[in-house]
Structures are given as C-alpha cells and as structure tokens.
Homo-oligomer: A and B are copies of this chain.
C-alpha cells in the first residue's frame, strides 16, 4: 500500500505496515513468522503469555469461557491487529481463551521487546493505543449484539468479520466451532446457515463455507458489523482489514 515499487508483497499485518520505516526496521529482526493450525489454543484463560502475535493470513479469536463451559467470542483479530494487548497495557495476562479461528501465518514477537518499543512513546505507542480503543469498541458492540440480535444476524456478522480478514471467500470452519464463537447451540447455527444457503448466499459442505453473495450477507447483517468497521476506519485509517468490498456508511 505504501510500497513505491510494484513488487509482489508477502502477506502483511497492516498494523505493522502502518509504522514508520525506522520503527519497522527496528522490529523486523524480532518478528518470527509462524504457521498456526485451525483450533490451536494460543493460550488458556489466565495463562501467562510472554509474546504477542501479529496475524497476517491467520485469524485469531478471543473467547471468554464460563464455569459451566459456555463460551462467547468477544473479539476477533486478523491482519489488522495484534493478539496480546494485555502485554503493553501492563497486565501480562487476560482471563480469556485465545484460539486460532482460521489457519494461517502470524508474526510472533517477544512481549518484552514490544514493551520496550512501546515505552519509547513513538508511533507504535500511538497506534497500539488507538487499536486498543477500536478493540474496546468491538467488544462493547458485541455485548449489545449478544443481547439484542438474532442468531441469523449474528451469523452474518461473523461471516463478514471473517471474510474481511481472509483473501478467499472460503472459510474452513465447522458449525460446532461457529456455535462456540457465537455462544449458541450448534443446531441454532445449522438452522441459520440453512436459511442463508437456501437464499443462495453461502454454500456449506462439511466444515467448509463458501460465500457466494457478499452483498446479500451485508443486506442481512445487523448494524453492529458496520459500527465496528466504521470506528476502526476512523481510528486507524489505512489499517483496515479485508478486501474493502465497497461497504460504506449510508
């Protein structure tokens, strides 16, 4: 995006890309590329974390887990963000579960190194705090969405969120896992997905969803998707996830 040459680019993390050159080159040697498989648990509730992740092609889900085993996704992180905000906010851990929602690549980085660069107070500091604010907004909107919107609407939201963070229109994901994310029964997802399939918006085949009609999804999704997206744009212009398929504020 800010590459002056027409060179073929490796998949990038837009948060890293948005950094000025000197910071980028300072961090570059410490970024370890890593492949993460679907379903891998990055960390369990409350476990110490000593590194952060910058996803490029992978998508990471932040889940909260209740004592009875019920779960709900509170945020999702793709190539627009960072996993492990607790690191620079000074908490070291978060009481949630973090799992890989879509297999792919991430950059791993030592938490203390990030902390160090963060404490310089430069552009990284600035960007990460703005990202945190966007994340807070995403969580809050998720809370309201959980309360007031139907499974159908939330499934659309979830599909769009995932689509934004992928380069294909095909996601590898069982209904069971989606149910965990949305905090509902698997059967509820089956039913909602059935409706979308009947409407010709998606095709479902045993752990593989193909989105056929993105505008159709956008027409059915609740406002929450757009609210989060707009706030993200406002705070981090240029650092926007996904393929910008033309959804705009009305």
Residues of A near any B CB (own CB < 8 A): 62, 64, 66-68, 70-72, 74-75, 85-86, 88-91, 94-96, 119, 121, 126, 129-130, 132-133, 135-137, 139-144, 146-148, 183, 223, 227, 231, 234-235
A166 and B24 CA atoms in complex are apart in Å by 48
CA distance A136 to B90 in the complex (A): 13
Q: Using Cβ atoms and an 8 Å threshold, which residues of chain B touch A90?
A: 126, 129-130, 133, 235
In the complex, the answer to whether A64 meets B136 with C-beta atoms within 8 Å is: no
Whether B130 lies near A139 (C-beta < 8 A) is no
Listed by A's residue number, 22 A-B pairs whose Cβ atoms lie within 8 Å are: A64-B143, A66-B223, A70-B148, A71-B144, A72-B143, A72-B147, A74-B139, A86-B133, A88-B129, A89-B129, A89-B132, A90-B126, A91-B133, A91-B235, A94-B133, A95-B137, A132-B132, A139-B139, A140-B143, A142-B143, A144-B146, A147-B183
A150 to B10, CA, bound (A): 48
Residues of chain B within 8 A of A227, CB atoms compared: 95
Residues A136 and B136 in contact, CB atoms below 8 Å apart: yes
The smallest beta-carbon distance between A47 and chain B, in angstroms, is 14
CA distance A94 to B130 in the complex (A): 12
Contact A144 B95 (CB under 8 A): no
Residue on B nearest A65 in the bound complex, by CB: B144
Give chain B nearest CB distance to A159 CB in angstroms.
Answer: 19
Bound Cα distance from A97 to B142, whole angstroms: 16
